[in-house]
Chain A
Amino acid sequence: MRETPLVPLSDWIDRLVEWLVVRYGDRLGEINNWIVYKIGFFERFLSQSIAWPLMMLGFAALAYHASRSPRLAAGVAAAFALIWSLDLWTPTMQTLSLMSVSLLVTVSLGLPLGVLMSQSDRLRTATMPILDFMQTMPSFVYLIPVVMLFGLGTFAGVLATTIYAAPPLVRLTDLGIRLVDADVIEAATAFGATRRQTLFGVQIPLALPNIMAGVNQSIMMALAMVVIASMIGVRGLGQEVLYGLQRQEPGTGFVAGLSIVLLAIVLDRITQAYGRRFAAHRQIAR
């Protein structure tokens, strides 16, 4: 029999989650099913509806658009061809789908939060510890209640990935806006710009290189969650790694891991190239 600690925090949390499960479990389950259905649709769209060469060309074109570099475009195409030839196309697209949905959620929540933080020192002070918490708390810890509430599967994966991946975007958005040259902001004020005009017309555009670095960081963090997400029933490359571990097949694990790395490099290079393009005319000439 365990002794009750002075502060029985763990009991409180147990009871809170149990209460939530009893009170809202059914409804949350429904939400989960609906979202899983939608994500599943997207997953099938990526992995089956689009022929793989088309997908490969699409990414190569995106890489070229971002960087104007034929070499990068060719490299991206080669990476996708290698993944296909390893017979890992479907799990890769499943992972890409989870990544895309997580990133969509991350950007649509993280970007506004970062912007708000840049406007209020109090909000920033209040939000910083929460971001630290999200980033450093081991993900299994919040996976327990998430799985209890929403059940296994894609939605829990998206939630866990978003919690882990959002902080860098929020931080870099806030930082990027705060780093905008005070002279330029003074000029906007002197010409009679409203706060909103200054924010959307000057600060956010000038913060874009930093915001793009945040998106890049978020993608890398999200990819790091792929294997952990597979443990709560998310399909994709993480699951392949997990199989390799469970069945003691080092080869299975390696090729899946290699595909994760290739996917990471492709996404990193493309987002970085966009970041550089944004940075082209954002520096103050002196």
Chain B
Amino acid sequence: MSDVRDIVLRNVTKIFGPTPVRALEQLRAGATKEALLAQTGHTVGVRDVSFSIEAGSCFVVMGLSGSGKSTLLRHLNRLIEPTAGEILFEDEDILRLPPEALRRFRRDRTSMVFQRFALFPHKTVLENAAYGLNLQARGGAERRANLQKAQRWIERVGLAGYEAQYPNQLSGGMQQRVGLARALATEAEVMLMDEAFSALDPLIRREMQDALMRLQAELRRTIVFITHDLDEALRLGDRIAIMNDGAIEQVGRPEEILQRPANAFVARFTADVNRGRVLSAGTVRLQAIIAREHETPQAVLERLRGQPLPVAYLTDADGRLVGALSASALRGAGAGVSLPALAQPVPSASRSLVLERVLPLTLESDFPVAVVDDAARVIGMLPKDRIIAALAAQLAPVEPAPRA
């Protein structure tokens, strides 16, 4: 399972206080966080956290303020040292790095984006973007080359024309674009983003999320993204870790978190989420009856018997959607009628389309929406009430529909 380029955390624990190692023993002996604080004055920041992050994916750590998520993030580049545990980057234990190697590790392999931007106010936008590169520059020629490299990133994040401005001349959203350019410009494989969009207005936040997703689709960096906003987590994350009180409650793909919450905490947490924006047609689809063009109406009717919905989908030889066949149309047809003549138009939704976008399609027709894969092959169906149940979180765990 463990890919070489993964980031792996094993039993990482951080205790703040004068004698953390002794407090750790008490914690392992079963002392609660509250008891530890009351008796010894030690605070548990991160508690026995283990997970792995696949290279090239966006891993979101989500939790309320004080849950230890920012502390956890700072372990990944050792701005904070753990009290116990292992942190592996491509099977290398970064906790063993001596100071100089740690500095090079931070410079070459990680970059960071901060909640309050943390731009250098005395440097221009361009100089800020080139900061990481210029830390290793020798001589003016190299610096100029770095500025050119940074210039390209400034353009990529949509700030062309602002190179000579200073951070305090920019709006918050633009400042964070500079922060993003600064982090991207070093071309480090791992980008740590600490509540990077939390300080921005909702509209701007949305724009920045879109910008990040566009860049990520192409760049495939390993992103560790911290947020307290579940909608943001569900939007950005390939996988999500829900953190509470320093510990991980659940790790999983967004729809797993929504549909199979591991415990009451996660369930309560996800109760208010706009599921329509997260759940996709593919994840809540039902199995559909598929009919081939050469079949007779009677054969299809036979297969529809006992099904909850009297609808089949007609596909061509490649499995692509031709139309919908209602049981009443099939019954009324004579023996010689071919199925394509009976097929009626039906809306289709790609498997990745979110329910919010699927819902309007149900108005176009009385038939359930057909769910199709990337090659337009029918893989399932979505009746209106199924969508509504999914949106209302009234859904029993979905068994993935087997291929017809």
Considering the chains assembled together, what is the distance between the CA atoms of A184 and B182 in angstroms? 13
Which residues in chain B, 265-290, are within 8 Å of chain A measured between CB atoms?
none
Contact (Cβ within 8 A) B168 A191: no
Q: How far is the CA of A282 from the CA of B77 in the complex (A)?
A: 27
A-B CB contact pairs (8 Å), 20 listed: A184-B121, A189-B106, A190-B79, A190-B106, A190-B111, A190-B112, A191-B111, A191-B112, A191-B131, A191-B182, A192-B104, A193-B103, A193-B135, A194-B103, A197-B135, A281-B168, A282-B122, A284-B168, A285-B169, A285-B170
Evaluate contact between B106 and A186: CB separation under 8 angstroms: no
CA of A184 to CA of B122, assembled, Å: 11
B binding-site residues for A, Cβ under 8 Å: 77, 79, 103-108, 110-112, 114, 116, 118-122, 131-132, 135, 166-170, 175, 182, 186, 192
A85 at the B interface (CB under 8 A): no
Kindly provide the distance from the CB of B75 to the nearest chain A CB, expressed in whole angstroms: 12
**In the bound complex, do residue B166 and residue A187 qualify as a contact, i.e. CB atoms below 8 Å apart?**
no
Nearest-neighbor residue (CB-CB) of A191 within chain B: B132
A183-B114, A284-B168, A285-B170 known; A191 vs B121 contact (CB < 8 Å): no
CB A143 to nearest CB in B, in angstroms, measures 41
Whether the pair A192, B107 counts as a contact (CB closer than 8 A) is yes
Chain A contacts with B in 235-286, Cβ cutoff 8 A: 281-286
Closest A residue to B132 using CB positions: A191
Contact of A191 among B106, B122, B166 (CB under 8 A): B106
Besides A184-B119, A281-B121, A283-B168, 8 other A-B contacts (C-beta < 8 A): A187-B118, A190-B77, A191-B106, A191-B182, A192-B105, A192-B107, A194-B103, A281-B168
Q: Which residue of B lies closest to A205 (CB)?
A: B122
Write the chain A residue with the least CB distance to B112: A190
B132 x A184 contact (CB < 8 A): no
How many residues does chain A have at the interface if contact means C-beta atoms less than 8 Å apart? 22
Question: Cβ of B77 and Cβ of A206 under 8 Å apart?
Answer: no
CB atoms of A187 and B112 under 8 A apart: yes
- Using CB atoms, name the residue of chain B closest to A202: B120
What does the 1/0 interface line of A178-212 toward B look like (CB < 8 Å)? 00010110111111111001000010011000000
In this complex, what residue of B is CB-closest to A281? Answer: B166
Q: List residues of chain A with CB within 8 A of the CB of B168.
A: 281, 283-285
Given B103, B116, B169, B175, which contacts A192 in the complex, CB threshold below 8 Å?
A: B103
Complex CA gap A183/B107 in Å reads 17
User: Chain B residue with minimal CB distance to A185?
Assistant: B118
Q: What's the Cα separation between A186 and B108 when bound, in Å?
A: 16
Residue of B nearest to A197 (CB): B135
Contact: B121 with A283, CB < 8 Å?
yes
A183 to B166, CA, bound (A): 17
Q: Are B121 and A285 in contact (CB under 8 A)?
A: yes
Contacts of A206 in B (CB 8 A): 120-122
What is A's interface to B at a CB cutoff of 8 Å?
181, 183-184, 186-194, 197, 202, 205-206, 281-286
Contact A187 to B103, CB < 8 A, known contacts A192-B132, A283-B168? no
Q: For the complex formed, measure the closest distance between the CB of B151 and the CB atoms of chain A, giving whole angstroms.
A: 18
Query: Beyond A184-B120, A186-B79, is A191–B175 a contact (Cβ under 8 Å)?
Result: no
A204 to B107, CA, bound (A): 21
In the bound complex, CA of A191 to CA of B104 (Å): 9
By a CB distance below 8 angstroms, the chain A residues around B104 are 192
B135 pairs with A192, CB closer than 8 A: yes
Taking the nearest CB of chain B, how far is it from the CB of A160, in angstroms? Answer: 36
User: Are B118 and A186 in contact, CB atoms less than 8 angstroms apart?
Assistant: yes
CB–CB B121/A284 < 8 A:
yes
CA distance A174 to B129 in the complex (A): 29
Complex alpha-carbon distance, A192 and B132, angstroms: 8
- A contact residues around B110 at 8 Å (CB): 190
Residue of B nearest to A190 (CB): B112
Give the distance in Å from the alpha carbon of A22 to the alpha carbon of B167 in the complex. Answer: 62
**Which A residues are in CB contact (< 8 Å) with B103?**
192-194
Query: Taking A190-B79, A191-B106 as contacts, is the C-beta distance between A286 and B121 under 8 angstroms?
Result: no
Report how far A197 CA is from B182 CA in the complex, Å: 17
CA of A188 to CA of B166, assembled, Å: 17
A111 vs chain B, min Cβ distance (A): 18
Residues of B near A197 (CB, < 8 A) are 135
- CB-CB under 8 A from A286, the residues of chain B are 116
Contact check, B167 vs A285: say whether CB atoms are below 8 A apart.
Answer: yes
Which A residues are CB-close (under 8 A) to B112? 187, 190-191
Whole-angstrom CA separation of A108 from B307 in the bound complex: 90
What residue in chain A is nearest B179 (Cβ atoms)?
A: A187
Interface centre among A181, A192, A197, A205 (most CB of B within 10 A): A192
B residues in contact with A189, CB < 8 Å: 79, 106
Tell whether A187 pairs with B121 under 8 Å between CB atoms, given A194-B103, A197-B135: no
Q: Closest 6 A-B residue pairs measured CB to CB?
A: A192-B107, A285-B168, A192-B106, A187-B118, A281-B166, A183-B118
* B-side contacts of A283, CB under 8 Å: 121, 168
Which residue from chain A places its CB closest to the CB of B170 in the assembled complex? A285
- Min CB–CB distance B135 → chain A (angstroms): 6
- Name the distance in Å between B196's Cβ and chain A's nearest Cβ: 13
Distance to closest chain A CB from B20 (angstroms):
21
Q: CB-CB < 8 A to B111: which residues of A?
A: 190-191
- Whole-angstrom CA separation of A283 from B120 in the bound complex: 9
Contacts of A191 in B (CB 8 A): 106-107, 111-112, 131-132, 135, 182, 186
Residue of A nearest to B104 (CB): A192
CB contacts (< 8 Å) of B116 on chain A: these are 183, 284, 286
Task: Report A-chain residues with C-beta under 8 Å of the C-beta of B122.
Answer: 205-206, 281-282
Q: Which residue of B lies closest to A195 (CB)?
A: B103
Smallest beta-carbon distance A52→chain B, Å: 38
B79, A187: Cβ atoms closer than 8 Å? no
Q: Which residues of A contact B79 (CB under 8 A)?
A: 186, 189-190
In the bound assembly, the distance between CA atoms of A191 and B110 in angstroms comes to: 8
**Residues of chain A lying within 8 A (CB to CB) of residue B182:** 191
Q: A285 touching B175 by the CB < 8 A rule?
A: yes
User: B166 contacts which chain A residues (CB < 8 A)?
Assistant: 281
B114 contacts across to A, CB distance below 8 A: 183, 186-187
CB distance from A72 to the nearest CB of B (A): 24
